[in-house]
Structure 1
Amino acid sequence: MYLLGFDIGSSSVKVSLIAGATGACIASSFYPKQEMKIVAKQADWAEQDPEQWWKNLKLALKDVLAESNVNPTNINAIGISYQMHGLVMVDRKQKVIRPSIIWCDSRAAAIGDQALKEIGEKQCLQSLLNSPGNFTASKLKWVKDNEPEQYSRIHKIMLPGDFIAMKLSDDIQTTAGGLSEGILWDFQQNEVSRLVMDYYGFEASFIPEIVPTFSVQSEVSEQAARELGLAKGTKISYRAGDQPNNALSLNVLNPGEIATTAGTSGVVYGVSEEVAYDPKSRVNTFAHVNHSAEANRLGVLLCINGTGILNSWLNRQVGNSAFSYEKMNELAATVPAGSEGLSILPFGNGAERVLENKNPGATFAGINFNIHSQAHIFRAAQEGIVFSFKYGMEVMKTIGIDAKVIRAGKANMFLSPIFRETLAGITGATIELYNTDGSVGAARGAGIGSGYYQSAAEAFKNLTKLETIEPGVNTDQYQRAYERWKTELEKVI
């Protein structure tokens, strides 16, 4: 029996098929092969067409089914991982009303800040564990204020993964975890937040049916089965935002465990059983995939918007797309730790929560025309990304998340030895790299939700550790470079 995982990112849609018995990935593909377009009609805006996610999913799935030659009737269940905080709106015919306002769109930051002041910081943080900030609820309020015609057509609002599940099944549903990512969940009352819904003036009917994260939520419809080449009735049994799902894929489910990822954006995600929050909402607390009213399992999330996107920008603009990322890493390795005084702040991808929703843009500081080269820029960028992680992890530590061991999939920025060694060196944490990713994690989640696996322990018994990185010998150099980097940051925030 096989399990299928979909990972709906802002860069691409990835599909993986795993063998349930062994957990081995049988086939995997992603589309598009170049990064998916993000439309920015104005500064700080970021939109994507949800139908494009669906088209890319179909292309990737077609590859996977062809490569694996698996009979679709032998696919037990489907799991869905998705980019968090996006807003999808559909009418009564399940047609998308407008492009999705995605996670890195900053247009609603001021709306969320005003809500925090008017509702009250204490009330927001105690009930929501976060400021309304620039999250899904505030994005919906922006639509209400600025696009009343589109707003009037709303039948249901969804997160990106809910949209994909709707396309698969015709059922419109969501989860408590998803609503918590949108700042629409009240942790005190364990229900949809009437506080936020009433303050913003939203209709209660906008919220879809709420289903458990791990459960047989719906089944593949006849129409979707024909469109995708799947069997009608295939179970859809798991959905979660990409960062809770990344933690699941690394078997990070218990208090004190830490997961991280560094794709377009970068995230450090720690699990806590304590209802804790940062008073300034610089890091955010959401329901983890295994959270319940009986047992708190909360994910404390640090997000840095400008991570891999800085590396890809440098590849195009500084390397003229002539270098592979491996070549960029090789060049960076020719430069000593600290990049000989060059510091790069990676904050060029929208407002940063860790900076209290400020958007200072990216900064290159300390450039010396007689010393610095492409290689210095490549290394300083990776160090700057790591230093932004360190800066946020200092905030996480104040609410009880202290990283001693960090788990990550061996992918994206974690393919770079410099990135890994710098992160271990500046944080003092041991880094463990595993053979997994979001789509494989979603497939395992589907196995748990469908009952194919009797427990998470069974689902992850074959998870393989590929590499361990211990803090190295350049600790003092990293610390000096970090202090210099922080000095530059303080000049712009």
Structure 2
Amino acid sequence: MTADLLVGIDLGAGALKTSVIRVDGTLAGEASAAVGTSSPHPGWSEQDPAQWWRAMCETLPRALAAAGGEPTRVAAISFSAGAHTQVLEDKDGNIIRPAILWNDQRSGAETRALREAADARILELGANRANPTWTLPQMLWLKRHEPEAFARVKRLYVAKDWLRSRLTGTWETDFIDAVGTLMADIATGGWSRELCDMIGWPLETLPPIVPTTCVVGRVTAEAARATGLAEGTPVVCGTSDTAAETYGAGMVAEGLGVVKLATAATVSVLTRAPRPDFTVINYPHVMPGHWYVIAATNSCASAHKWLRDTFFRREGEDGSAVFSEMDRRAAAVAPGAEGLFFHPYLNGERSPHWDPLLRADYVGMGFNHGPGHFVRALYEGIAYSLRDCMLALNGKGLSFSTARLTGGGAKSALWRQIVADVLNVEVELPAVAEASFGAALIAGVGVGIYADARDAARVIDIVWRAAPDPERAARYAQGHRIYCDIQAALAPINHRIHDFVRGG
């Protein structure tokens, strides 16, 4: 039987998704399963990796069944997941503690300590600034607050690598995810002893680094029984979710941007080299010899879901239907939401403020505002935050005239158009705009179905395009200036609120 299917698995912050694609890039089947996040303290965000494994074992058979394909038709499988998220194992292979996620904000004090000690040097070595998002300050927090756990670590896995190891029994990562730990040296392409020594982290706990498209092993007999895959199926390393998304959206040429409307939101631009700077994020690209530069806002679809679950959804209601109703109400409201503004800082903020103490808000409320205004203001507020991100990139000489959209938020035609108008760029929607799709393409490159990463991108299909409306774009440019003024005025008050909550 011909092996003509590719499988991509993406671990998101709220769910794991498995996609099965045909080699021509069309989607054959998919399935997802929820993954729970715990927040034992304000600003904390943790998950149990065992849930990831259960979700993978659940979704693989369902996705294959939806594709109508026998497991033997799978030519290869690959993975993506959020960067920075780590799994720590002891000498016996036991998980030491829940995984600290990329959006966790607990390591603020550790971030400040690293900046005070070696801010410029960290940027020089790792191409990025220390922030609570990164593994390096997270592991310094572990050393300070859970020293027994710190001392027990024998292996550190990045999230997608731990999941993949359940299939192959092997231990490795790719350079993109290695850079995401802030423990790698961009000049050598290996781990940085100097960065690790800053927190006393032993190098021997870090995995070998291999190419993103490297075949690292094959599905074991035990894993085949648990997942429904065929024993011996090739497994390709894979990479971080944003790298897989930007690649899967077709960002293989300079001048094309990618805007991700997922749990968090990002704006990415392809470059030939990193642009180390305190305000943006740098990662190697799936295509060798390229990098991509990111500016990011912490809360996007997560804020949309929060609004739905807190104010719109009744117990037992279908969540998708509620989203559709929210969208309909927002569409009936004029651009600008009649002066209602929203800042999406539900879990602090990254670009361009890099402030974990910022808080979300609705500002400008009046009796004229109904439910639809609050939804539209949320769409617009996140788009304004994306404009902040785009302007941060523009300030580094990086720009784009067209943006490809990815993530669950891109399902809303209204939100897509608002993004086009606020950013004042043309936007395009790929037929499949998911990290799991990009991971499947990476699997195909790894086993030679596609000649290389650029060749695989030829199968990406664009199904929707929209240009910005000049009148709305001008309106939103004015609104963005007000949005920025509100943020600046409230930032010191946000800090006082933080101290108040802590009892200070």
- TM-score, reference length from structure 2: 0.92
Partner of 2:414: 418
Residue number in structure 1 paired with 2:334: 336
Find the counterpart in structure 1 of residue 436 from structure 2: 439
Between the aligned partners of 1:358 and 1:142, the Cα distance in structure 2 is: 15
1:317 pairs with 2:317: no
Looking at structure 1, the residues matched to 176 and 425 of structure 2 have their Cα atoms a distance apart, in angstroms, of 28
Is 2:287–2:454's contact at 8 Å kept on the other side of the alignment? no
Question: In the TM superposition, what is the alpha-carbon distance from 1:230 to its structure 2 partner?
Answer: 1.3
Aligned-partner residue type, residue 32 of structure 2: F
What is the SS of the residue equivalent to 2:198?
helix
Deviation for aligned residue 1:190: 2.8
Q: Does 1:233 align with 2:236?
A: no
Residue 502 of structure 2: aligned partner: none
Q: Report the Cα distance in structure 1 between the residues aligned to 2:453 and 2:62, rounded to whole angstroms.
A: 29
Letter in 1 for 2:417: E
Q: After superposition, what is the alpha-carbon deviation per residue over 1:447-480, rounded to whole angstroms, capped at 9, x for unaligned?
A: 0012121123432333211111101131222122
Aligned equivalents of 1:147, 1:124: Cα separation in 2: 24
Partners of 1:284 and 1:302 within 8 A in 2: yes
SS in 2 for 1:336: coil
Quote the Cα distance in structure 1 between the aligned partners of 2:454 and 2:243.
17
Shift of 1:28: 0.6
Give the equivalent residue in structure 1 for 2:455.
458
1:4-83 equivalences under 5 Å are 4-20=7-23, 22-32=24-34, 36-83=35-82
Taking the TM superposition and a 5 Å limit, the aligned residue runs for 1:34-433 are 36-119=35-118, 121-134=119-132, 135-278=134-277, 281-291=278-288, 295=289, 297-321=290-314, 324-368=322-366, 370-409=367-406, 411-433=407-429
Q: What CA distance in whole angstroms lies between the structure 2 residues aligned with 1:274 and 1:143?
A: 33
- Judge conservation of contact 1:127–1:188 (CA < 8 Å) in 2: yes
Q: Deviations over 1:222-241 (max 9, x none)?
A: 21111111122211114111
- SS in structure 2 at match of 1:310: helix
Relative to 1, partners in 2 of residues 1:348 and 1:259: Cα closer, same or farther, differing over 3 Å?
Answer: same
> Aligned-residue CA RMSD in angstroms?
1.6
Shift of 1:131: 1.3
CA contact (8 A) 1:5 1:441 kept: yes
Cα distance in structure 1, aligned partners of 2:411 and 2:226: 36
Letter in 1 for 2:329: L
3-state DSSP class of the match of 1:42?
Answer: coil
Identity of aligned residues (%): 25
Gaps of 5+ in 2: 492-504
Write the distance in 1 (CA, Å) between the matches of 2:151 and 2:174. Answer: 24
Query: What's 1:3 paired with?
Result: 6
| 2:312/2:322 contact within 8 Å kept | no
SS in 2 for 1:467: strand
Asked if the contact 1:109/1:357 (under 8 Å) is kept, the reply is no
Q: Deviations over 1:48-93 (max 9, x none)?
A: 0011011011111121122334221221111101111112101233
Q: Is the 8 A contact 2:340 2:362 kept in 1?
A: yes
Q: State the Cα distance separating 1:144 from its structure 2 match.
A: 1.5
Does the residue aligned with 2:79 lie in a helix, a strand or coil? strand
SS in 1 for 2:458: coil
Paired AA for residue 82 in structure 1: A
Partners of 1:106 and 1:351 within 8 A in 2 = no
State the partner residue of 2:501: none
Task: Give 1:479's aligned residue.
Answer: 477
Q: Determine the C-alpha separation between the residues in 1 that align with 2:272 and 2:475.
A: 36
CA distance in 1, matches of 2:168, 2:351: 35
Supply the distance in 2 between the matched residues of 1:46 and 1:224 (Cα, whole angstroms). 29
Deviations 1:131-175 (A, max 9, x none): 122201211121122112212221111110011111111111111
**Aligned positions, number:** 480
Asked if 2 retains the 8 angstrom alpha-carbon contact of 1:304 and 1:352, the reply is: yes
Answer whether contact 1:87 1:139 (CA < 8 A) is retained: no
The one-letter code of the counterpart of 2:209 is: I
Q: Distance in 2 between matches of 1:246 and 1:54?
A: 22
Instruction: Tell me, yes or no, if the aligned pair for 2:383 and 2:423 is still in contact at 8 Å.
Output: no
Whether the 8 Å CA contact 2:131–2:354 is kept in 1: the answer is no
Taking the aligned partners of 2:240 and 2:262, their CA distance within structure 1 comes to: 15
Out of 65-74 and 325-334, give the one that drifted further: 65-74
| Deviation for aligned residue 1:351 | 4.4
Residues 104-123 of structure 1: CA distance to partner in whole angstroms, max 9, x if unpaired? 1011132122212212x332
Distance 2:435 2:10 in 1: 6
* AA in 1 matched with 2:293: V
DSSP-derived class of the 2:449 partner: coil
- 1:354 deviates by 2.7
Q: Letter of the 1:31 partner, please give it.
A: A
Query: Which runs of no fewer than 5 residues in structure 1 stay unpaired?
Result: none
- After superposition, what is the alpha-carbon deviation per residue over 1:370-406, rounded to whole angstroms, capped at 9, x for unaligned? 2111111111011000000001211111112212110
2:489 & 2:348 partners in 1: Cα distance?
Answer: 18
Could you tell me whether the CA contact under 8 Å between 2:263 and 2:300 is conserved in 1? yes
Task: Report the 3-state secondary structure (helix = DSSP H, G, I; strand = E; otherwise coil) of the residue aligned with 2:10.
Answer: strand
- Contact 1:307 / 1:346 at 8 angstroms: preserved in 2? yes
Q: Distance in 1 between matches of 2:108 and 2:351?
A: 10
Q: Indicate whether 1:469 and 2:472 are aligned.
A: no
The residue type equivalent to 1:314 in the other structure is L
Q: CA deviation at 1:358?
A: 3.4
Q: CA offset at residue 350 of structure 1?
A: 3.5
CA–CA distance in structure 1, aligned partners of residues 163 and 38 of structure 2: 20
Q: After superposing the two structures, state which structure 1 stretch, 325-334 or 413-422, moved more.
A: 413-422
Deviation at 1:353, TM superposition (A): 4.5
Alpha-carbon offset, residue 483 of structure 1: 1.4
Over 3 Å counting, the alpha-carbon distance change for 1:177 and 1:71 in structure 2 is same
Q: Deviations over 1:189-248 (max 9, x none)?
A: 332122211111111111112111111112112211111111222111141111011011
